[in-house]
Structure 1
Amino acid sequence: MKKNLIMGLMSGTSADGLSIALCEVSGRSLAVKAFGNYPYSAALQARLIAAKDLRAPELSALNFELGRLWAGMVKTFCRRHRVAYKSVAVIGSHGQTVWHAPGEKGHTLQIGEASFIAEETGRPVVCDFRPADMAAGGEGAPLIPFMDEYLFGRGCPVALQNIGGVGNIAFAGKGVKTFGFDTGPGNSLMDTAVAAITGGRLSYDKGGAWAAAGEPDLRKVYALLEAPFFSRRPPKSLDRSAYTLAFIKNNFPGQLNLRRSRDLLASLNLFTAASIAQAFGSFAPRGTRELIVSGGGALNPALMDNIAALLLPAGVRTRSIAELGIHPLAKEPACFALLAWLALAGERNHCPSATGARGPRVLGKIIRP
């Protein structure tokens, strides 16, 4: 069977950089051949997080600025890995989410003008995946469960947890109707706290060191899990705006300082872990005994330890997707490479049971050079 090279780009809700994955697809097999992560400056990250408050001219300018930046990053990636543009069949770009508000009259906006990528590479680019799902009555997210179904739908039941700015989980496997939903905070609260405490000198809790050194406020963590979102049945999705600096100030008053920083990070870390464990316990299909974690959260040992400890009593094994040969940060861009490949062929690239859409669709808009 012919093998094709495809490329995917992802800039997540953490707004900390662009991840690029070069994949080889053949039938239902997908392998990551090369991966790169290109960090943003602290100033750009702050602008992206605040982009929801921009006026139209400023947002339009940022859309084009990102497109140009990403085109340059794709050029750098291809040079480093000696990839000829003409060898890539298609490129998929999720874009940078500025706003996501699901619901009956919901709306969503991703920026990062993909025309610059098509112009740089001369290859077709597929972008703007969420609106077609929302037009069909879906939440517009999560979209990753399609890849989970594609890769894991024929094996034993498994849970696949991605931890980016927001956490999302999917369940797939033989005999399981694949579905997924957002679980709650991912890295966003932890990253926001570290940036605020250090005045922007640090952007995340490296290795989970602060969290590991602190004592979590168990009462507060489990009180936060009483919020209606966590008990609501899927499909359901969140935007990063649900978990901001204001959320931390309101729920952990007086802790945004170096003296209380370790305890605060321990609480926020446990909150993310407990929301994942609660989602698994409430909605995992019978016989699911494994949780495979991807995203930046998989690189946080304290977070992984918390998740594992919470799920171990139920006999559930927690491990990183790295054990399967996929870099934790490569899964999402690899997914959008796959979605783009299928969109270009006019084939279904959508899991409506994860988003609540009325039926399967072909997601994405195609830009041809």
Structure 2
Amino acid sequence: MRILGMISGTSHDGIDVAVVDFELVGSVLEGRVGHTASTPYPDELRARLIAALPPAPTTLAEVCELDTLIGQSFAEAAAAAVAQGGPVDLIVSHGQTVYHWVEGAHALGTLQIGQPAWIAERTGAPVLSDVRIRDITAGGHGAPLVSVLDGLLLGAHEGGAGALNLGGISNMTVLRDGSLHAYDIGPANALIDAVVTSRGLNPRGFDEDGRIAASGRVDEKLLAELLDEPYYRLPAPKSTGKELFHLGYVDAAVARTGSAADDAGLVATLTELTVRTVAADVRAAGVGTLVVSGGGCRNPVIMDGLRTALPGVRVAPSDDFGAPADDKEAIAFALIGWLSAHGLPGTAPGGTGAAGPRILGTLTPGAGPLVLPAPLGEPPRSLVLAR
């Protein structure tokens, strides 16, 4: 079954796609990763999206327009993927998260926009979307959903493994002795990107190759203030987002401490915040291997910082395990699509905190009748990815 996975993450910089051809061989699910790509949002659309995100006020009219415009952008990215990678049986669109409602350490709702009907109309393929909410209705956080891929890909890893994603928010799946738990650690690139964008340090909106952080000096007083965030002390499972970690959050911490850090020093401090929070949780997990994906794994300041802070832990990109680091989340949503199509849960309760596993998503039919494979009684025991 050929499935196209699509997502725009918490860095909201564009749309990642991956076409995966899945085949179940005995109890092993084999996935051949074909076409992958990343399509940036048009500058005007990205600016409108950023302006509408919490804590900024917005209107239902703006949400409606963004839902359409992002849906059309996803549709074009899907059409390009099909044109280059060949026809697919199903498209899974995560869409763009614009709000993740958490109160009292409980997720109460989540909103992803990017109307899937535009994708179905443009490609003729059925679309699975709105994949997080079913887990939340079962008491989970709806995140990190990539933990279902981590469990199948790394569950048998000797010595235990942590699967770390460094997107806007850092999240980690911990696999040890046959158990799995996962949660959001805190900001990875979210605060760095917010400062880089607001201060015009890079027109691309991020610290490319960590050059800004490498040129700055960490403000230890400001770092201590940032590390005192109560979220870090909450027990897992837990989830967070830009509702908490945004530019105003940084500005408030700077004002409280009277920090005189220049732009480079501020970026260096926020980069060290990512290193410290991740390293602390990896040490607590006691794993021997850390498998890293997401845009942050291309930042040598973060990666070198993690290797220095975690002596004795193998820190490696997910590419070494068959999942290209830049495409892992898109692959994960393709996997969720395969599971849902076969009537199998797409969540690991230990990863999200839900009362039990749930089949995920809402289906939008394509150009023809909706035809699903015969349901399976048991999920695969492992996943092997290849290109």
Contact kept? 1:29, 1:151, Cα under 8 Å: no
Distance 2:325 2:256 in 1: 34
Q: 1:97 aligns to what?
A: 97
CA RMSD of superposed structures (Å):
2.2
From 128, 131, 134, the equivalent of 2:133 is 131
Structure 1, 91-100 or 118-127: larger mean CA deviation: 118-127
SS at match of 1:241: coil
SS at match of 2:336: helix
| Paired residues for 1:141-290 under 5 Å | 141-156=143-158, 157-172=160-175, 175-198=177-200, 201-253=203-255, 260-282=262-284, 284=285, 286=286, 288-290=287-289
Note the alpha carbon deviations across 1:77-101, whole angstroms, 9 max, x for none: 232x2x332xx12111111011001
Q: CA 1:211 to 1:143, structure 2 compared with 1: closer, same or farther past 3 Å?
A: same
Aligned residue identity for 1:57 = A
Shift of 1:142: 1.2
Gaps of 5+ in 2: 367-387
Contact kept? 2:95, 2:129, Cα under 8 Å: yes
State whether structure 2 residue 81 is matched by structure 1 residue 77.
Answer: yes
The count of corresponding residues between Structure 1 and Structure 2 is 356
Q: 1:115 aligns to what?
A: 117
Gaps of 5+ in 1: none
Distance 2:254 2:32 in 1: 43
Structure 1, 100-109 or 334-343: larger mean CA deviation: 100-109
Structure 1, 224-233 or 44-53: larger mean CA deviation: 44-53
Note the alpha carbon deviations across 1:101-150, whole angstroms, 9 max, x for none: 13457111100011111122222211101111111111121111011012
Note the alpha carbon deviations across 1:284-313, whole angstroms, 9 max, x for none: 1x4x2011110000111111111111112x
From 22, 25, 30, the equivalent of 2:22 is 25
Distance 1:239 1:325 in 2: 28
Q: 1:361 aligns to what?
A: 358
Structure 1, 122-131 or 39-48: larger mean CA deviation: 39-48
Note the alpha carbon deviations across 1:322-359, whole angstroms, 9 max, x for none: 23343222000110011011111111111111111111
Aligned residue identity for 1:339 = I
Q: CA 1:214 to 1:91, structure 2 compared with 1: closer, same or farther past 3 Å?
A: same
Identical aligned residues as a percent: 34
Aligned residue identity for 2:65 = A
SS at match of 1:102: strand
Structure 1, 297-306 or 52-61: larger mean CA deviation: 52-61
Q: 2:308 aligns to what?
A: 309
Structure 1, 56-65 or 257-266: larger mean CA deviation: 257-266
Note the alpha carbon deviations across 1:54-90, whole angstroms, 9 max, x for none: 21122112111111111111112232x2x332xx121
Distance 1:259 1:342 in 2: 48
Q: 2:348 aligns to what?
A: 351
Q: TM-score under structure 2 normalisation?
A: 0.87
Q: TM-score under structure 1 normalisation?
A: 0.91
Q: 1:342 aligns to what?
A: 339
Note the alpha carbon deviations across 1:159-213, whole angstroms, 9 max, x for none: 000011111000125x231110001001111111111111773411110001011
Distance 2:42 2:64 in 1: 20
State whether structure 2 residue 51 is matched by structure 1 residue 50.
Answer: yes
Distance 2:107 2:81 in 1: 39
Distance 2:11 2:297 in 1: 14
Aligned residue identity for 1:364 = G
Shift of 1:259: 8.3
From 8, 11, 17, the equivalent of 2:8 is 11
State whether structure 2 residue 87 is matched by structure 1 residue 63.
Answer: no
SS at match of 1:363: coil
Contact kept? 1:235, 1:355, Cα under 8 Å: yes
SS at match of 2:2: strand
From 311, 317, 321, the equivalent of 2:318 is 321
Contact kept? 1:101, 1:239, Cα under 8 Å: no
Contact kept? 2:35, 2:81, Cα under 8 Å: no
SS at match of 1:240: coil
Contact kept? 1:181, 1:354, Cα under 8 Å: yes
